[in-house]
Amino acid sequence: MLLAGVEETLASVGPVVTAASSAVDRVPGVLDAASSAVDRVLPLLDTVDAAVARVPAVLDEASAAVDRVPPLLDSVSSAALRVDELVVESDRIRASIASLADGLAPVLAGIDPALVTNLDRALVSLGPVLGRLDGEVIPAVTSLEALVPAVDALNTQVQQLQ
């Protein structure tokens, strides 16, 4: 009976040993898979380390950007106030122009259209007159000014002759 108990124990241990042997046979594959996973994780750790190393610089930049916000808001606020002032000023100017136009309307209504036509023609002809003045008269006067010393010298000689 003892022998039968040992045989039974051996019989029940056999599948356990077979399963353990199979598990042991799979260990190299599991180790290779684990090694491959570690090989893939190492570069990721380098990337994470680099990212973590950049965090203080990014925080400094963010802090500097946050520090620039209040002066920027002050500037925008000042600009908005100035725009409001300009709108008020332009409204005042617009009202002044409207008042001036209202005041001029009766005066302009009394002007003879022929006078306006003549004034328009005079203004149109003024351009060419100014062009001739600039192109011909001023150079001629400049040339005459160059003769002043010679005329002074002749005047001196005429006075000496008298």
Long-range contacts from 33-38, C-beta under 8 angstroms, 24+ separation: none
Give dist(CA 132, CA 138) in Å, integer.
9
Q: What is the pLDDT at residue 53?
A: 92
Low-confidence ranges of the chain (pLDDT < 70): 1-6, 10, 162
Tokens coding 21:
């042997």
If DSSP codes are grouped into helix, strand and coil, which group holds residue 87? Answer: helix
Phi/psi at 23 (nearest 5 deg)?
A: -65, -40
Give dist(CA 131, CA 125) in Å, integer.
10
In tens, the pLDDT along 95-124 reads 888 888 888 788 777 788 888 788 888 888
Q: What is the pLDDT at residue 162?
A: 67
Q: What is the pLDDT at residue 83?
A: 85
Radius of gyration over every alpha carbon of the chain, rounded to an integer in angstroms = 53
Give dist(CA 130, CA 122) in Å, integer.
12
Long-range contacts from 93-101, C-beta under 8 angstroms, 24+ separation: none
Q: What is the pLDDT at residue 3?
A: 66
| Full DSSP string of 3-35 | HHHHHHHHHHHHHHHHHHHHHHHHHHHHHHHHH
Q: What is the pTM of this model?
A: 0.36
Structural element, H or E, at residue 115: helix 113-132
